[in-house]
C-alpha cells in the first residue's frame, strides 16, 4: 500500500524533486514528503524490487527528457546533429514519442498550406476564372457581331440584286409585247424572268428574319404585285411561243398547174393538227381572253377553208383556189390583228402595275 502511494506521489512530483528524494536518507525522505504536503508518518521501505522499479522509472523519464531536448535542438539547428545521433535517437525512442510531434507537424503544414492558398492560390484562381469568363464573353460577342454583319451584308446584297433586276422588267415587258416576234429576244427575256423570280423568292424568304419588314403590308403588297407581274410575263412568253406555230403558212400557197395537190393536202393537215395542239396548251391570260375565243373560231374556219382549197385544186378550179387562199390569209390576218391589240392592252396594264411597285427596302 505504501509503495502504491509512493508511486502515485512520484507521478505528481517534478523529476528534479524525485531525484532529490531518491538521494536522501529515509528520515530526510519523510521530511521532504512532509514539506510537500504528505503525511510524515509513512514508512518507506527500500527493498531491491522497489529500488529497481524506481530506478527504471527514473531512467525512462531521463531518456524521454533527453530525447525531447535533442528533438528541440534538432528543430532549431538541424545541421548540428549528425546522422548517427539521429539514428540513435530514433532507435532508442519509444513509438509513442513521435505521435504528438507528427500530428503537430502535419497540422502545422496544413495550416501553412491553407495560408498560402489564402494568400495567392485563391486570388490566382479568381483571376484566371475572371479572365476565362471575359475571354469567352468577348469571343461570343465578336462572333455574334461578325455573324450579324455577315447577315446584314447578305441582306443588302440580295436587296441590291433584287432592285437591279426589277429595273429590267420594263424592258422585258416591251420585248414580250413587241409585235415583231424574235425567238432569240423572247428566250433571253424568259431566262431573265427566271433569275428575277428566284432572287425575289430569296428576298421574300429572308424577310422572316428581318424584324423591321416581316409584317410590312406595303412591302408584302409590292412583292405580291411583282410575282403577279412575273407570272403574267412568263405566261405571255409561253403564249407567244405556242402561237408562233399556229396557222403558219409561209410560202405554201403558190397556186399553178404544177402544184402537188397531195403534198399540199398533207402539209395543210399537219398545220391544222399542230395548231390545234398548241391552242390547247395556251395559258390563260386576262388580256387575251377575246383572242383565244377568236383563235378558236379561226382554227375551225381554217380547217374548212383547207378542205375547200384542196377540192378546188383537184377540180382544176384555180381561180376559186386563189380566192380560197385569200380567205385563208385574211382569216389569219384577223387573228393576228386581234392578237396585236391584246399585246397592247397587256403592255399598258403591266406597265401600270410595274409603276405602282416601289423600291424594295
Whole-angstrom distance, CA of residue 29 vs CA of residue 6: 11
Q: Which residue did the predictor score with more confidence, 112 or 16?
A: 112
Instruction: Say yes or no to pLDDT of 186 above 80.
Output: yes
CA gap 249, 314 in Å, rounded = 20
Overall residue count recorded for the chain in this entry: 361
Quote the strand ranges of 45-105, DSSP E.
none
Give 51-88 pLDDT, tens digit per residue: 555 556 556 656 666 666 655 554 455 544 445 554 55
Burial category of 82 from C-beta neighbours within 10 Å (exposed 0-12, middle 13-18, buried 19 and up): exposed
Look at residues 150, 149, 161, 148 and name the one whose alpha carbon lies nearest to residue 203. Answer: 161
Q: Distance (Å, rounded) from C-alpha 196 to C-alpha 192?
A: 6
Q: Which residue did the predictor score with more confidence, 205 or 48?
A: 205
**How large is the angle between the packed helices 15-23 and 26-35, nearest 10 degrees?**
150
Compute the distance between CA of residue 55 and CA of residue 47 in angstroms, rounded to an integer: 12
pLDDT band with cut points at 50, 70 and 90 for residue 150: low
More confident residue, 312 or 137: 312
In 3D, which of 48, 69, 51 has the Cα closest to residue 59? 51
> Averaged over 283-295, what is the pLDDT?
93
Reduced to 3 states, what is the DSSP secondary structure of residue 136? helix
pLDDT of amino acid 37: 54
**Can you give the pLDDT at residue 238?**
93
Q: What is the mean pLDDT of residues 89-111?
A: 53
Mean pLDDT, to the nearest integer, of 205-226? 76
CA proximity to 304, closest of 270, 339, 268: 268
Mean residue pLDDT of the chain comes to 75
Kindly tell me if the per-residue pLDDT of 128 is higher than 60: yes
Q: What pLDDT was estimated at residue 280?
A: 94
The domains of the chain are located at 2-98, 169-355
How would you label 182-198 residue by residue, b for 16+ Cβ within 10 Å and e otherwise?
eeebbeebbebbeebbe
Burial of 353 (0-12, 13-18, 19+ CB in 10 A): middle
Cβ-based neighbour number of residue 240 at 10 Å:
20
| Residue in the block written with cell 529515509 | 26
pTM: 0.60
Query: Per-residue pLDDT tens for 236-246?
Result: 999 999 999 99
End-to-end CA distance of the chain: 116
CB contact set of 42 (below 8 Å; sequence gap of 6+): 2, 5, 6, 30, 33
Percent helix, percent strand, percent coil in the chain, to nearest 5: 80, 0, 20
Nearest to 350 by CA among 124, 113, 171: 171
pLDDT confidence of residue 241: 92
The answer to whether the CB of 303 falls within 8 A of the CB of 272 is yes
pLDDT(93) > 60: no
Amino acid at each position: 500500500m505504501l509503495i502504491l502511494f509512493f508511486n502515485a506521489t512520484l507521478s505528481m512530483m517534478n523529476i528534479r524533486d524525485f531525484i532529490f528524494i531518491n538521494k536522501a536518507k529515509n528520515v530526510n525522505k519523510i521530511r521532504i514528503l512532509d514539506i510537500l504536503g504528505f503525511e510524515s508518518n509513512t514508512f518507506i521501505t527500500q527493498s531491491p524490487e522497489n529500488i529497481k522499479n524506481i530506478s527504471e522509472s527514473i531512467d525512462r523519464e531521463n531518456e524521454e527528457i533527453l530525447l525531447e531536448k535533442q528533438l528541440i535542438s534538432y528543430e532549431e539547428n538541424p545541421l548540428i546533429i549528425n546522422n548517427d545521433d539521429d539514428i540513435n535517437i530514433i532507435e532508442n525512442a519509444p513509438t509513442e514519442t513521435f505521435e504528438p510531434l507528427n500530428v503537430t507537424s502535419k497540422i502545422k503544414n496544413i495550416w501553412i498550406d491553407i495560408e498560402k492558398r489564402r494568400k495567392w492560390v485563391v486570388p490566382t484562381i479568381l483571376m484566371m476564372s475572371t479572365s476565362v469568363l471575359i475571354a469567352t464573353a468577348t469571343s461570343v460577342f465578336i462572333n455574334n457581331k461578325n455573324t450579324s454583319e455577315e447577315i446584314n451584308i447578305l441582306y443588302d446584297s440580295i436587296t441590291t440584286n433584287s432592285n437591279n433586276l426589277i429595273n429590267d422588267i420594263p424592258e422585258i415587258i416591251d420585248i414580250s409585247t413587241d409585235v415583231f416576234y424574235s425567238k432569240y429576244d423572247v428566250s433571253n427575256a424568259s431566262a431573265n424572268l427566271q433569275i428575277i423570280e428566284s432572287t425575289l423568292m430569296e428576298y421574300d424568304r429572308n424577310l422572316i428574319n428581318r424584324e423591321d419588314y416581316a409584317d410590312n403590308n406595303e412591302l408584302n403588297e409590292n412583292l405580291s404585285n411583282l410575282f403577279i407581274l412575273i407570272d403574267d410575263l412568263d405566261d405571255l412568253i409561253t403564249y407567244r411561243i405556242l402561237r408562233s406555230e399556229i396557222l403558219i403558212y409561209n410560202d405554201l400557197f403558190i397556186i399553178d398547174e404544177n402544184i402537188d395537190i397531195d403534198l399540199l393536202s398533207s402539209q395543210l393537215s399537219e398545220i391544222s393538227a399542230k395548231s390545234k395542239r398548241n391552242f390547247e396548251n395556251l395559258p390563260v391570260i386576262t388580256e387575251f381572253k377575246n383572242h383565244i375565243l377568236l383563235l378558236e373560231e379561226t382554227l375551225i374556219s381554217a380547217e374548212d377553208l383547207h378542205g375547200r382549197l384542196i377540192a378546188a385544186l383537184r377540180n382544176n378550179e384555180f381561180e376559186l383556189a386563189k380566192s380560197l387562199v385569200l380567205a385563208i390569209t385574211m382569216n389569219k390576218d384577223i387573228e393576228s390583228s386581234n392578237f396585236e391589240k391584246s399585246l397592247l392592252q397587256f403592255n399598258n396594264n403591266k406597265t401600270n402595275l410595274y409603276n405602282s411597285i416601289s423600291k424594295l427596302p
